[in-house]
Amino acid sequence: MKSKAWTEKFMQGVFFVAACASVLAVALICIFLFANGIPAMREIGFIKFITGEIWRPGSDQFGILPMIVGSLYVTAGAVIFGVPIGILTSVFMAMYCPKQIYKPLKAATELLAGIPSVIYGFFGLVVVVPIIRQFGTALYKAGIVDNPGNGNSILTASLILGMMILPTIIGTTESAMRAVPSHYYEGSLALGATKERSIFRVIIPAAKSGVIAGIVLGIGRAIGETMAVIMIVGNQARLTSSILQGIRTLTGNIVIEMGYATGLHREALIATGVVLFVFILIINFSVALLKRGADHE
Amino acid sequence: MKMKKFIAVLSVVSMMAVAAAGCGSSSDTSSAGDAAASDDSASSSEWDAASAITVVSREEGSGTRGAFTELFGVVDDDDNDITTLDAQVTNNTSVMMTTVSENEYAIGYISLGSLDESLVKAVSIDGAEATAENIENGSYTVSRPFNVAVKNDLDNPVATDFMAFIMSTEGQAVVSEEGYIPVSEVEAYAGEAPEGSCVVGGSSSISPLMEKLIEAYAEVNPNASIELQTTDSTTGMTSAIEGSYDIGMASRELNDEEAAELTGTVIATDGIAVIVNQNNPTDDLTVDQVKSIYIGDVTTWDAI
């Protein structure tokens, strides 16, 4: 009896240490980022750093507004392409899918998650970029846009990122829909609703928090994605108004220039990481708020 | 029922989109086939000189970019880089080559040693072709040094001996074999072939050459083992100062902080090739033309 109590206590301690590891990792990353990034922000000037439109480290101009806007653009684009397709796919997989094709379909979406991002980037560079370039040229010739762009664009990055966040959204949405008690669905049918109406008016609202979690995980992946994006987005550090033009993201800015950066330039890149980190915090925080709102209803 | 209809419409639309994309790419491949079959007529009819130039550049701080902007004068009066902000940026030589080989209107620049003429075309600068001979005789002026650096008080016999090998006739023969420009006035290797190991690391531009040098050194001194780590110029220099590398590599000049702690040696010279798409009829550009493209004064091919 006594020895059992001891092992339980011991194992409890082991679990506690394991739990601490992740908290410690987050804490260390926070300390590293802020300790290195804040001094650089102060030296450049916080307002100048966040709202500056010109990034020329060689001549001491560190404005990351184009990168902030760039990250928001490509992430929003990824959500526009990825979320509808992801949710409709999970509706199909959870409610309509015949048994024979469920397994290959599930395997395919899981494989999509396992493909390394550099492969997505290379696929984008060789296949999607030329298609978008032709598309842009066609629009330009038809007089719809002023500048045809060269294929490395916000649109291209949005398409590829939309593809990359699909497995995240499909996985969480499908399991959330499957977790809805079957009597919800049966009750809806019994009241005379059609199958489609039951799915979109009963099941999905009931699975709302899972769906939102999936979307947010997808946004997190999109905003943090680096390798695939830098290969296809053009990486121009300036603002643009056309989705056929390229732009640079926060992650891209760090990766592209970290290798050779020294002194204040390097610190400015770490400060870029701080801004990215704050973005992720804001996203997580707003999800928590959204979820709380949903629970209160 | 409504939803079923909606899904049906959606699937039809997406299938049409796929079909349209399929058409686009298939017509593209057939025209590429035509171009290959009857080269001139097809490619020149496709070439539209009024199209905007896609300017592709390396990232700020890269050794290649630093050398390029300096040599072509893409700098203002205070030596600040003024490459147009509309230039596409990549941090990778192979992405640079793929982009230029996929986009007919693109221009970029890469290390001469990495140039693959089956993918892209190197243009002549001021009439001189980008070749090792032309760099050596001074007619092709766009080149930069490959530096290796060791600590001022280096006490690793293998590293010292390896440096002596690089700066010998044998070592420099490897340099010119690989398409880089060797250092003149060297003597034959007369090392004592000490036993031991050392670590070399740094610039990814120098790495392919260093790999060949290490192979050649292993033949004259089988007692030593040399480890090569590929990172970047700044990491190479920092690690050499810290002592984790015995020899650091940098594809740029050493800055003042680094030069205070390290002794740099130029082991080779590398040319920088300005590359365009193979369908581009341009064969020759002047330094001023390249400069005005990269500053953003000239934005279409017919305006050059």
Contacts of A265 in chain B (CB under 8 A): 60-61
Question: In 3D, which of B92, B129, B29 has the Cα closest to residue A125?
Answer: B92
User: Which H or E run includes A190?
Assistant: helix A182-190
Mean pLDDT of chain A: 89
CB distance B174 to B210 below 8 Å: no
Q: What is the pLDDT of residue A295?
A: 63
- Identify the sign of the CA torsion B145, B151, B157, B159: negative
pLDDT value, residue B185: 75
> Closest Cα partner for A46 from A58, A63, A32?
A63
Contact B247, B240 (CB under 8 A): yes
Which token pair is A57? 């480290």
Asked if A200's CB is within 8 angstroms of B61's CB, the reply is no
Phi, psi of B193 (to 5 degrees): 50, 65
CA distance A236 to B102: 19
Q: Which of A58, A126, A234 sits opposite B60 (nearest CB)?
A: A58
d(CA A176, CA B255): 57
Given a contact cutoff of 8 angstroms between Cβ atoms, the answer to whether A78 and A161 are in contact is yes
- Strand pairing class (B262-276; B181-182): antiparallel
E-only strand ranges, chain B: 54-58, 88-90, 106-111, 121-122, 124-125, 143-151, 181-182, 196-202, 224-230, 247-250, 262-276, 284-285
Q: Does B203 touch chain A (CB under 8 A)?
A: no
Facing residue for A129 by CB, picked from B4, B102, B235: B102
Residue with tokens 């199909």: A92
Of B80, B88, B91, the CB nearest to A236: B88
Q: Where are the beta strands (DSSP E) in chain A?
A: 55-56, 61-62
Lowest mean pLDDT among A51-55, A164-168, B182-186, B293-297: B182-186
pLDDT for the residue A294: 62
Nearest to A157 by CA among A219, A221, A229, A241: A229
A233: alpha, beta or left? (left if phi > 0; alpha if psi -120 to 50): alpha
First vs last C-alpha separation in chain B: 61
- pLDDT in the model for residue B6: 62
State whether the Cα torsion A221-A226-A227-A228 is positive or negative: positive
Can you tell me which residue has the tokens 């593209």?
B28
Under 8 Å between Cβ of A94 and A178: yes
Residues 6+ apart with CB under 8 A from A256: A230, A235, A248, B59, B89, B90, B91
Task: Give chain A's length.
Answer: 297
pTM above 0.80, yes or no: no
- Do B98 and A126 form a contact (C-beta atoms < 8 A)? yes
Q: Which of A106, A120, A65 is nearest to A237 (CA)?
A: A65
Query: How far is the C-alpha of B54 from the C-alpha of B68, rounded, in Å?
Result: 17
Interface test with A, best of B15, B26, B99 (most A CBs within 10 A): B99
CA diameter of chain A:
84
With beta carbons under 8 A apart, name residues in chain A contacting B88: 150, 152, 234-236, 246
Q: What percent of chain A has pLDDT over 70?
A: 97
Q: How far apart are CA A14 and CA A18, in angstroms?
A: 6
Are the C-beta atoms of residues A41 and A274 closer than 8 Å to each other?
yes
- Report residue A46 as tokens: 């916080």
SS3 B180: coil
- Over 50: is that where the pLDDT of A71 sits? yes
Q: Which two tokens stand for residue B159?
A: 């590293």
Nearest to A58 among B81, B85, B234 (CB): B81
Q: Output the tens digit of pLDDT for each of chain B's 304 residues.
A: 455 666 666 666 665 555 554 444 433 333 333 333 333 334 444 778 788 888 999 887 777 888 888 888 888 887 778 888 888 888 878 888 988 998 888 999 988 888 888 889 999 998 888 888 888 888 888 888 888 999 888 888 888 889 889 999 888 999 888 888 888 777 888 877 788 889 999 887 888 889 999 999 988 888 888 999 988 787 888 889 988 899 999 887 788 888 888 888 899 888 889 999 999 998 899 999 999 999 988 888 888 7
**B291 vs B294: CA distance, rounded Å:** 5
pLDDT over 60 at A207, yes or no: yes
**Residue A147: is it exposed, middle or buried by C-beta count within 10 angstroms (0-12/13-18/19+)?**
middle
Pairing of strands B106-111, B88-90: unpaired
The residue behind tokens 């090998």 is B165
- Angstrom distance (rounded) from CA B104 to CA B99: 9
Q: Which of B155, B161, B283 is nearest to B222 (CA)?
A: B161
Length of chain B: 304
Residues from chain A contacting residue B206 (CB–CB below 8 Å): none
Planar angle of CA B86, B88, B89, nearest 5 degrees: 125
Q: What is the CA radius of gyration of chain B?
A: 24
State the pLDDT at residue B4. 60
Can you tell me the ipTM of this complex?
0.72
Q: Do B3 and A234 touch (CB under 8 A)?
A: no
Cβ contact, residue pair B1, A230, below 8 Å: no
